[in-house]
């Protein structure tokens, strides 16, 4: 009976250690995940334009202010909708002050011949510039 108690205790110790290691690993992975964004407004404009023109999902994820766990799905769905509409981005402008923008205006043409233009909010946090799909409230 003494051996069984020792084995049970050993098993519980191993299970507890593995559980604790798992929690530490997940915490470290979350803490070291890079924040979205790019270093400058010019890089934001360039990356956003390239992502939309080329359908580059990773580039779009990089500049989205969106929960990291859902950014991949959102960016993919967003670009799919762009492709399905036959949208071709012609211009991405930052303003009103290009050095410290609050808005990104995306414009282009649809395959059916129409034009489109819409505005996204731009924000800077910790030196990282992103676009957000929240209304651009100034």
Give pLDDT tens digits for 3-47. 566 888 888 989 999 999 999 888 887 776 667 889 999 999 999
- CA-based end-to-end distance of the chain: 73
Tell whether omega for the bond before 36 is within 30 degrees of 0, i.e. cis. Answer: no
Mean pLDDT of all residues in 41-62: 94
The pLDDT, as a whole number, for residue 128 is 93
Tens digit of each residue's pLDDT (9 = 90 or more) over 77-130: 999 998 998 999 999 999 999 889 999 999 999 988 899 999 999 999 889 999
Name the β-bridge partners of 64. 131
> Across the beta sheet with 115-125, what order do the strands follow?
88-95, 103-109, 115-125, 128-132
């Amino acid at each position: 009976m003494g051996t069984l108690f020792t084995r049970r205790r050993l098993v519980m110790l191993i299970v507890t250690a593995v559980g604790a290691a798992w929690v530490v690993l997940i915490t470290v992975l979350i803490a070291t995940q890079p924040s979205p964004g790019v270093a400058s407004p010019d890089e934001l404009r360039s990356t956003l334009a390239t992502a939309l023109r080329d359908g580059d999902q990773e580039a779009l994820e990089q500049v989205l202010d969106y929960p990291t766990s859902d950014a991949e799905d959102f960016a993919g769905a967003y670009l799919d909708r762009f492709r399905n509409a036959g949208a071709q981005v012609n211009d991405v402008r930052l303003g009103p002050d290009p050095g410290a923008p609050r808005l990104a205006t995306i414009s282009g043409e649809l395959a059916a011949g129409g034009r489109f233009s819409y505005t996204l909010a731009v924000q800077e946090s910790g030196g990282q510039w992103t676009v957000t799909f929240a209304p651009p409230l100034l």
